[in-house]
Amino acid sequence: MEFSNSALSGAMAAYLDHLRDERGCSPHTIAAYRRDLGKLAAWSETRAPAMRLESPADLNKRALQTFLAAQARSLAPGSQSRLLACLKGFGKYLVANHGLARSPAQGIGFPKRETKLVNVADEAFLGRVLADDADGFVAARTRLCVELFYGSGLRLAELIGLHWSHLSRDSESARVLGKGSRFRTVPLTDTARQVLSGFRSLCRERGIPSESGPVLVSAAGKPVGRRIIQRTVTDTLRGMGRSGKSSPHVLRHSFATHLLDNGADLMAVKDMLGHASLSTTQKYTHVSVRKLKETYAHAHPRA
């Protein structure tokens, strides 16, 4: 949304520029924070004139608590947490750049969230998906997406941004641009390398550049967007019989969970996923506890 001409709205716009230009945040994060700050600006406009937030100095803990309480009626705990994270980041920015003595969001606690298990596809099911023949350009591209989501744990935005030049000379690894504008190197499976080679040949047959430029293109050589990839991957998983959540991120979840189930080191999985914090990776250990219980039942003399 467009902010008003108040000093506070100007600070909001400058904060979003700071996130993009200096912090390297993704467009999706910036769009979400723009909506969150827009909610604060819109809420301020509903208050009595004397209580409206016109400048950074008008922001205080009580005002933010009142705003958050109003938003809590319509937002899930996860959305409330992101909203508060936005306000805490904005508060720190105001302290650093607008002379505030302390962040107005300091001391406000995050709402409690239920721990939800991530959605994971069964290993046998994914084996059947990846054993299915890919007939045609679009099917080959979708198969490649499934291979890279599940075989290398890529995020959707990372795969959309993958270029041929990001592949190593032997195609055994790829450099991907993750969150926070951080590059990381991910390994590619033997099957992924074969599928990449086949898809590259299909591109060459159509005169589509396959040494540079994006890997994921249409049959006409145009870059494809995230919605197309989401739809084709989802349709493929559902077409093979999956009834649960079938997004590309399910494949990333499956990548991490299956690695841990089969004995991979948690820190190594963290690095492959591109997580900044180990606590983010640890959510997969809740799923993998099933494997631990199975091991315990078979190995412990008193089990």
Stated pTM of the model: 0.65
* pLDDT for the residue 119: 85
Q: Among 38-42, 48-52, 61-65, 84-88, whose mean pLDDT is lowest?
A: 48-52
- Residue 5 — very low, low, confident or very high, per pLDDT cuts 50/70/90? low
* pLDDT for the residue 276: 84
Beta-carbon contacts of 207 under 8 Å, excluding residues fewer than 6 positions away, are 221
* pLDDT for the residue 289: 59
Q: 195's torsion region: left (phi>0), alpha (psi -120 to 50) or beta?
A: alpha
Residues in the chain: 303
Beta-carbon contacts of 289 under 8 Å, excluding residues fewer than 6 positions away, are none
pLDDT higher than threshold 80 for residue 111: no
Averaged pLDDT of the chain: 88
Percent of the chain with pLDDT over 90: 60
| Distance from C-alpha of 254 to C-alpha of 259, rounded to nearest angstrom | 8
Which of 163 and 171 is assigned the larger pLDDT? 163
* pLDDT for the residue 180: 79
Helix (H) or strand (E) holding 294: helix 283-299
pLDDT higher than threshold 70 for residue 134: yes
* pLDDT for the residue 158: 95
In the structure encoding, which two tokens stand for residue 171, read together?
Answer: 């195609």
Among 20-29, 72-81, 84-93, 131-140, which range has the highest average pLDDT?
Answer: 84-93
**Nearest residue to 52 (alpha-carbon basis) of 85, 107, 6:** 6
The type of residue at 156 is L
* pLDDT for the residue 65: 92
**Nearest residue to 78 (alpha-carbon basis) of 115, 49, 53:** 115
26 contacts 179 by C-beta, under 8 angstroms? yes
**Nearest residue to 59 (alpha-carbon basis) of 22, 21, 15:** 15
Three-state DSSP state, 266:
helix
- Residue 16 — very low, low, confident or very high, per pLDDT cuts 50/70/90? very high
**Nearest residue to 256 (alpha-carbon basis) of 145, 170, 155:** 155
pLDDT tens for 199-255 read: 999 999 999 999 989 999 999 999 999 999 999 999 999 999 998 889 999 999 999
* pLDDT for the residue 24: 86
* pLDDT for the residue 11: 93
* pLDDT for the residue 109: 86
* pLDDT for the residue 76: 81
pLDDT tens for 250-289 read: 999 999 989 888 878 888 889 999 988 887 888 777 666 5
Q: Which of 39, 184, 275, 291 is catalytic?
A: 275
Which of 300 and 137 is assigned the larger pLDDT? 137
* pLDDT for the residue 17: 94
Domains of the chain and CATH, by start: 7-97 (1.10.150), 123-298 (1.10.443.10)
Q: Which of 82, 141, 155, 258 is catalytic?
A: 155
Three-state DSSP state, 231:
helix
Q: Which of 179, 226, 245, 291 is catalytic?
A: 179
150 contacts 249 by C-beta, under 8 angstroms? no
Q: Any idea what DSSP says for residue 172?
A: S
Q: Which of 23, 52, 175, 249 is catalytic?
A: 249
275 part of the active site: yes
Q: What is the mean pLDDT of residues 1-29?
A: 84
Look at the block and give the residue holding tokens 């820190």: 267
* pLDDT for the residue 124: 92
Cα dihedral across residues 227, 230, 236, 238: positive or negative: negative
* Side-chain half-sphere CA neighbours of 43 within 13 A: 17
Q: Which of 34, 143, 252, 258 is catalytic?
A: 252
**Nearest residue to 173 (alpha-carbon basis) of 192, 145, 200:** 192
* pLDDT for the residue 146: 96
155 part of the active site: yes
**Do strands 183-187 and 173-177 pair parallel, antiparallel, or not at all (unpaired)?**
antiparallel
